[in-house]
Amino acid sequence: MTTENYSLGIDIGGTFTDVVLYNHADARVFSHKEMTTPEEPTVGAIRGVQTLLEREQVKGAQISRIVHATTLFTNALIERRGVKTGLITTAGFRDTLEMRREFKFDLYDLFIEMPATLVPRELRLEAIERVRADGAVDTPLDENSVREAGKALVAQGVESVAITFLHAYANPQHERRARDILNKEFPQLYVSISSEVAPQIREYERTSTTAANAYVLPIADQYLERLEQQLKALGIGCPLLMMLSNGGLTHVGEARRFPAQLLESGPAAGAIAAAYFSKRSGIEDVLAFDMGGTTAKLAIVENNQPLLAHSFEAAREKRFATGSGLPINISTVELIEIGAGGGSIAHLDSMKLLKVGPKSASSRPGPACYGRGGTLPTVTDANLLLGHLNPDTFAGGTMKLSTQMAGDAMAPIAETLSASGQETASGVLSIVNENMAAAARVHVAERGFDAPKFTLLLTGGGGPLHGCDVAQRLGIKRVLCPPGAGVASALGLLIAPARVDRSTTLAKRLSMVTPEALEALFAQLEADAAQVMKDTLVDGAAYGYERSADIRFVGQGFELTTELPKGPFDAGTPDKIMDAFRAAYGRVFGQVPPVAEIELMNLRVAAIESGVDRPLNLTSSGREQWKHGADDRKLWLPSTKDWADAPAVAAESLKHGDRLQGPAIVEDASSTLVIPPGASACRDSVGNLIVEFA
C-alpha cells in the first residue's frame, strides 16, 4: 500500500472546471479540465475528480487536503439566481438599498438603469429600535416588531433574511437578539446580521453586503453540504477548505456562514499563483492577467504580493463604471474585470459596428466550434479560425473543435461587413484585446502605477492566447507565461496560506485614542481571527498578524487603507501611524496636504499562515501524457492579412535557454501561447516562458 498523500484543488469556472492533484512526496502536479455543469456544478466537479483520480491511480483515502474555489455565488448575484430574500432594518431606513448614495454613475445618461436591489421593497420591513453612533441605545428593541416582520416575510415565501440595524457596528446587541428571535420562531429561515458580515460604518454598503450574503447563503450552505457528501462517497474524508476573496483559505464552516467572502475566490487564486510564479523568476512587479471562458480579470502584484482592497462592486450594470454595481465590503485581492472571455459572443450593433460581449455562450451551449449546439460566433471561434488553436488537442485533447462550425457562425457577420472570415475573426480579437488594454491602463494608473514598468503574467485558458497582443497595446516589453497557465487558479489553491480578516469601526481622531486603547482593540480582533485559524489549520501550524487601518485627514470623506506597525503599540506608535499614512497618501495622490490631524475609521487585522512553502514540480503531466499536435501551424497575421508559417511546439519539449522567434505557438495541455512576429520567447531556469518584444 502506497504511503503517498495528495492535495486536491477544484476550481469551478463559467466554462471549465479545473481539477489539480498535488503529490506531497515529490511536489508533482497533475491536472484535468472538465466542462462546467452550470445547472448542478457538483456534477462536473465530481466527474472531473473521478477522472483525474482514476487516471493517476490515486485512491480517495490518499487525499489529505482539499481546497475549493467557485464562481457559483458571484454568478448567482450577476444573474439574480439567489433565493427569495427579506430585510429587517431600523424603522425609517427601509429604502436604504434603493436610495444608495443618490449618485449616478453616468451623470448625463437620462435613461440610466441602476442595478436592481436584491431585496424588493415589499420584502424590506422595519423593526422598532435605535442605536446611536457611539453605541448607546436610543430606543430599545421592540421584540414583537421583529416577530411580526418575520411572520410577514415567511408568509411571502422568504427563505433568507438580512438584519441591518442602524449603527449595529458600534453595538450589535439588538441584531443578535433579533436573530435569536427569528431562529426560535422560524427555524427554517437563514439569517445574516450586519454586525458579523460587515461590521463597518456606512449604512448602504453594510446593508448591501449583508443582503448579498443572505441572498446566496442557502445556495452556498446546500451546495457545500452536497459537495462534502459526494467527496466522501469517493472515499475522500479529509476537511474541505475554501479559497476566500482575499487570497487565503478558511474551513468550510466559516464559508457556509459567510459566503460573501467567496465571491472573488477563483480570480483571487489566480493572483496568488501569479505572485508565486513571478517570484520564481525573480520578477517582483507583475500585472496578473487571467482570461477564462467567461471573463478576464487583472490584478496588480507588487513585490510578489497581490494588492488587497476591502470592498468591490459585484454585478455592474456597466462593466467598467464605478457605482454601477452592488458594493460588497469584504477583504479581496484587488481585481478588475477588464474584458470578455473565450465564450463571449461577437455581434453587430444597431449601427452595424462589430461588438464583443458581454453576453457569453458559457459552457452550455458553448462556442460554435464546440459542436454542442452553439450557433453564435465567439472569441474562441475567432482564435480557431486564425490558427491559434489546434482543433485536435484543445483542453488537453478532451474535446475536438470544428473549424467548419466556427466559420459558419462567423459568416453572417463577415458578409454584412463585406470581409473574409479571417478578417472578421481578426477584428473580433482586436476589439477584445483593445478593450482589455484600455481597462487595464486606467486601473493601473488610478492606483499610481505605470503599466510599462510591469511584466504581464498570463494565466487562464485565454490569457496566453491574448496576452502578447494586450501587452504590446499597453507598452509592456515583457510577458511571463508559467507552465500549466490554463489551470493556474487551481494551482493557486494548492499554494495559498490560510487567512482570516477581521475589522471594526473606530471613527476617532488619532489624538483622541491612547496607544493602550488601540492595542486592546487590535488584540480583540486578533483573538477573533485566531478562533477561525485554529479551526482551519492542523495542530501546530504557525500564523502571524498584520495590522492596518482605514485612515483619512480630518475633513475628508473617504479613507486610504494603510499598513500599521506590528504590536504591541506604545507611546511612539502614533507618530509611526502618521508617517505611514503620509507616505501612502503621497504615493497615491502625489502630494500630502498640510493637515495635522488624521482619523482612524476602520481597524483591520489579517491572521495569515506562516512558513507556507509548497514547491510545485510541473515537469510531469502524469500517467496519461498529453499528445501534442502538428509541429507547424498556419497563422493569420493581421499586419499582412495573409497566412504565415509558424512552428508549434509542446511546452514540455522546451529546455532552459531554448529560444523561439515569433510568429510561433507554444502549447501545453491547458493553454496555448501565441508569440507574435518580432517577439522572442525563452524558457528560464524555473520553467517559465519569458516573451520579450523588440
What pLDDT does 127 receive?
Answer: 98
User: Residue 657: which of 685, 692, 634 has the closest Cα?
Assistant: 685
For residue 625, how many other CB atoms are within 10 A of its CB? 10
Query: Rounded to whole angstroms, how far apart are CA atoms 313 and 326?
Result: 5
Q: Is the pLDDT of residue 266 over 90?
A: no
Query: Rounded to whole angstroms, how far apart are CA atoms 278 and 487?
Result: 16
Span 579-604, mean pLDDT?
93
Distance, first Cα to last Cα, the chain: 55
What pLDDT does 614 receive?
Answer: 72
- Evaluated on CA atoms 334, 338, 344, 350, the torsion sign reads positive
User: How far is residue 426 CA from its own chain's centroid?
Assistant: 29
* Span of 445-459, 544-558, 627-641 with lowest mean pLDDT: 627-641
- Prior bond of 391 cis (ω within 30°): no
Q: Is the pLDDT of residue 406 over 50?
A: yes
What pLDDT does 627 receive?
Answer: 58
Q: Is the pLDDT of residue 634 over 50?
A: yes
Q: Is the pLDDT of residue 472 over 60?
A: yes
Could you tell me which CATH class the domain 82-221 is placed in? Answer: alpha beta
Span 535-547, mean pLDDT?
87
pLDDT range class, residue 451, cuts 50, 70, 90: very high
The CATH superfamily label for domain 6-77+229-262 reads ATPase, nucleotide binding domain (3.30.420.40)
Whose grid coordinates read 461590521? 199
- Percent pLDDT > 70 in the chain is 97
Radius of gyration of the chain measured on its C-alpha atoms: 26
What does the pLDDT look like over 166-183, one tens digit per residue? 999 999 999 999 999 999
Q: Is the pLDDT of residue 630 over 60?
A: no
Query: Of 14-18, 113-117, 267-271, 383-387, where does the model show the most confidence?
Result: 383-387
User: Residue 654: which of 636, 673, 670, 637 has the closest Cα?
Assistant: 673
Contact 680, 692 (CB under 8 A): yes
| Averaged pLDDT of the chain | 90
pLDDT range class, residue 622, cuts 50, 70, 90: low
Number of continuous H segments (helices) and E segments (strands) in the chain: 17, 35
What pLDDT does 625 receive?
Answer: 53
Span 360-375, mean pLDDT?
88
For residue 532, how many other CB atoms are within 10 A of its CB? 19
Query: Rounded to whole angstroms, how far apart are CA atoms 613 and 616?
Result: 10
What pLDDT does 44 receive?
Answer: 92
Burial of 594 per CB tally in 10 Å (0-12, 13-18, 19+): exposed
What pLDDT does 623 receive?
Answer: 52
Report which DSSP code applies to 487: G
Domain ranges of the chain: 6-77+229-262, 82-221, 511-609
